[in-house]
Structure 1
Amino acid sequence: MKEFTSPLWPIHFKPLPDELLSSWLVRLAHSHGLKVQTFCNLIFGNRLQVWNRDIDRLAPEWLITELSDRTGTDMGQVIATTLQSYQGVIYHRYRASGTLSWIQSLKLHHRKFEGFGLQFCPECLASDEEPYFRKSWRVAFNTICTAHNCILHDRCPDCGYGVAFHRNDMRHAEYVATIALKECHHCGFDLSKSPTIRPSYVSRDIGIFLGNLSQKLLDETLSQAEIDNLLVMHHFAKLMFTKNSTVKLYSYLCDVMGVNKIPLITKDDIEGVDVETRHHVLQVIAYLMLDLGPRLRVAIAVKGLRYNHLKKDFNEMPKCYADLIERFSIKELSLHYLNSSTYDLNT
């Protein structure tokens, strides 16, 4: 097959609102009547492999440049489709490997996703003129679609496999023009027909707090205070998934909130667990954040965690948080303990 040699590809549409880089690239391949791997081999050659990595996270310069040149899309608009565009917003420092704060892990192995790092809203996929996947669906603190007020799915409800739309056309001997990104790559189930599940919250305030974060991330209107809050929230998430048996913050907060505890696998990070677990843990964190100073003081007083846990391994600590915990004193915490109701974390 002849390689593309003109500056612009025959079909060179721009990314849709909040579209993920990989989603845009797959749609471009299919629009040319080609399978994804065939298209990428023609454009980038066999030396530059695209699908053996998390391209939304790594977004190599050669890929960004080629897409910009061949579609006539501004470089900034191309970069905005990548997870690197979240640097300084939901994570502080970019890392090419390992856990990246609030970015869900695909757990890529031999071009297959063994994790459930890409979520979707069935109602978005159903209402799209052309179904596509959103960048914000890769963010761990997003568990709901604010447009349709429903819980996001993180796997096919029919076969249980994670989403890997770049493998959809592998189920077909030849490219079929009707293949849509909303097909499950494993069983062919139409993901837009997944059940719509309405979210439930412990309190209205918690729902508003988490919904605002999701909506403002999408609108790119997060304030510096909210960006700082996300750093603090991620630190508390690490404390809840810690292997350290002296940290009982999660257990204490669940008891105070009157909600059932669910088993947290301490070898995982919040970026690697299922959407139901994240939705639950995020509510516990939101409860703490809504009255952070007083609730932290009591948690320390009743030995839900130690004072040093508030700082340990928190390298990007916001000043507002540092100032808050610096005001805590041993004497003050002792008084809180004496004045608080007797609470036994071991019962």
Structure 2
Amino acid sequence: VVTVAAFGISLPALPAGATAFLGGLLAAAVVLGLSRAGAGPIRLVLAGSALTLALSGLSGMLLLLRSQQTTGLFAWGNGSLAQIGMQSIDRLTPLALVAFAGLMLLGRRLDILALGDDGAAVVGVSPRLTRSIAVILAVLLAAVSVAVAGPVGFVGLCAPAAVRLLSTWIPGLVRHRAFIPASALAGVLVVLGADVLLRAVFGAQAGAEVPTGIVTTCFGALVLIVLAHRSRDMGTDSGSTAFARLRSRRAFVLTLVATAVGLLGAVVVATLFGDATLLLGDVGNWLAGRSGQFVSYVLDTRVPRVAAALLAGAALAVAGAVVQAVSRNP
């Protein structure tokens, strides 16, 4: 996307999403190709980190050399929820819903992948086909998020990790048909929480100028510290975890209901609170076109940000959860 913008090409929502999707597929192919020779997630993480550093350096060079053509991309490159209306969100949301539905259908196959390639093949699941479909759908979700809000840092890592921490007390969350919607909710909470925090601390103007991805990256760093502390003395027990996933058949409906309620609550809180506190009646008047100038201004700028956070947070979190599943990265 930065490369296209550097040459003065301005793309609408769907072409921008398609560009991000193709770039994501190419990056995924490179990372998987570099890590194929090794076993386990360590080589995959190293390959992904190396490619990220290389692409970040290239993006930085283009931003410096093509500063006039890439005006405004600095904030976007750090994850910005600033939106001009709802057009991009309206056009890209159906793609995210299709990808999400496809991954939910793949949920049991993703559970079986935890048994290993040989174990999955024994029960009739093709590991290569399952991984290919899952990666394509995950890249599509990531592309939608990037097209809407840019690369919001660490959401795809910290949101699934937070859900895994909860699975210690709620075993049903380890099944991917519950884990995927729970990760989506966690991603939305992370991004919406970061946005509300920015608007509450710095005000409307500064909160809109500071990229939300900066806050999520700081949060992700804290999550990494917690994970490192928890895992330093833990061994790997992938076999027992895999069979626990296969045996656990509860909490699917409850997880979906809890996710829906949590999403609704998060959207309501993010809409009402921030740089200015509103009431539900203010929102009702705004929807009916009877609100005052102040309320109209606040909600006209706040609602698209909330919608972007909802879409980007859920898409990135689910994409991260799926990538961790196909790479068997706990």
Per the TM superposition, whether the score is higher than 0.5 is no
Q: Which has the higher contact order (CA 8 A, sep 6+)?
A: 2
* TM-score, length-scaled by structure 2: 0.28
* TM-score, length-scaled by structure 1: 0.27
Asked which structure has the greater CA Rg, the reply is 1
Please state which structure has a larger fraction of its residues in helix: 2
